[in-house]
Amino acid sequence: MHDMDLARWGFDENAVVLVTGAASGIGRATALRCAQAGLRVACWDLDQGGLDSVAAEIHLAGGTAHTAVVDIFDDHAIDAAFGALEASWAPVRHLVNNAGPRSVDPHGFREAISMAVGSMEAMIQRFLRGIDAAPSDATEHASVVSVSSVAGNFTGSNPPWYPTAKAAIAGLTRALALNEGHRCRFNAVAPSAVATPRMTSYSQSDAGRRWAETNPLGRWADGDDIARAILFLLSPFAGYVNGVLLPVDGGQLLVL
C-alpha cells in the first residue's frame, strides 16, 4: 500500500491547483478545501472582491493562495494568466474546471456552447501544455475535474444549451480520459441543485423548499458537498479513477 497522508488526501505538499470560478459557490468551497489539504491554490474569477475574500480566508487558515481576474471565456486571457502563474509559482498539477455561464444568462445556443464547453477544453489544452513542459516529478498524480451537471446527462432542463453543454463536458471528460490518461486523469462531477449564490432566489422560494423535500436527504446540497467530491476525484486517493461522471445529488436521480 502506498503511504498517503489522509489529512492531505494524498496530495503532494505545495503542489499547485487551479480553480476557476473560485470567488463563489462550488469553486470557492473547492478552493478552501484544496488549501486545507495543503495545496497552493490559484483562484481565478471575474469578481475581484470575491477573490480577495477567498484568499483572505485561505491565508487566515495558514494556506497559500494566488488570485487573478481572468475571463476563462477568452483564450488569450487563459494563456497569459497560465504563463504568469507558471512563472511566479510552479507548474499547475491539478485543475478544477468549474466556472461556466449561468443558465439564466441570455446567450444564443452556439455562443453558450462555446463559452461553457470551449472554455473548459481551452483550459485543459493549456494545462496539458504546462504538464508537458514540466519535469515529470512535478506532474505526478496530475488530474482534472470538470463540473458538469445532472442536467443533460440524466435529466433535461432549460434553456437547451445548458444540458447540451453539460453533456458535452461529460463526453469531453471521457474522450480525454481515454486518450490522455498517460498524462493525467480526467473526471467530472454531476451536481443536482446546489444552494450557491446563482440559485438563491430559487433555493429560498416555496418551490425550492418543496424540491428539497423530494430529495432523499431532504435538503439542498451546499457548495462544500460538491467540493468534497471534487477533492476526492482530484486527489491521489482516486488514483485509479479515470473517466467517470460522479453524480453528487443526494440520491435525487433515484426519485426522478
Ligand X SMILES: NC(=O)c1ccc[n+]([C@@H]2O[C@H](COP(=O)([O-])OP(=O)(O)OC[C@H]3O[C@@H](n4cnc5c(N)ncnc54)[C@H](O)[C@@H]3O)[C@@H](O)[C@H]2O)c1
- Segment 139-158, which members bind ligand X (CB under 6 A)? 147, 149
162 is known as an active-site residue: yes
Of 12 and 71, the one with the shorter C-beta distance to ligand X is 71
- Segment 21-60, which members bind ligand X (CB under 6 A)? 21, 23-27, 44-47, 50
Tell whether residue 252 is a contact of ligand X (CB under 6 A).
Answer: no
Of 89 and 202, the one with the shorter C-beta distance to ligand X is 202
| Catalytic residue from among 44, 73, 154, 162 | 162
Give the nearest distance from C-beta 102 to ligand X in angstroms.
Answer: 6
- Report the 3 state secondary structure along the chain: CCCCCCCCCCCCCCCEEEEECCCCHHHHHHHHHHHHCCCEEEEEECCHHHHHHHHHHHHHCCCEEEEEECCCCCHHHHHHHHHHHHHHCCCEEEEEECCCCCCCCCCCHHHHHHHHHHHHHHHHHHHHHHHHHCCHHHCCCCEEEEECCCECCCECCCCCHHHHHHHHHHHHHHHHHHHCCCCCEEEEEEECCECCHHHHHHHCCHHHHHHHHHCCCCCCECHHHHHHHHHHHHCHHHCCCCCCEEEECCCHHHHC
Q: Fill in the per-residue mask, 84 to 123: x = in contact with ligand X (CB under 6 A), - = not in contact.
A: --------------xxx-----------------------
Question: Residue numbers of the site for ligand X (CB under 6 A)?
Answer: 20-21, 23-27, 44-47, 50, 70-73, 98-100, 147, 149, 191, 193-194, 196-199, 223
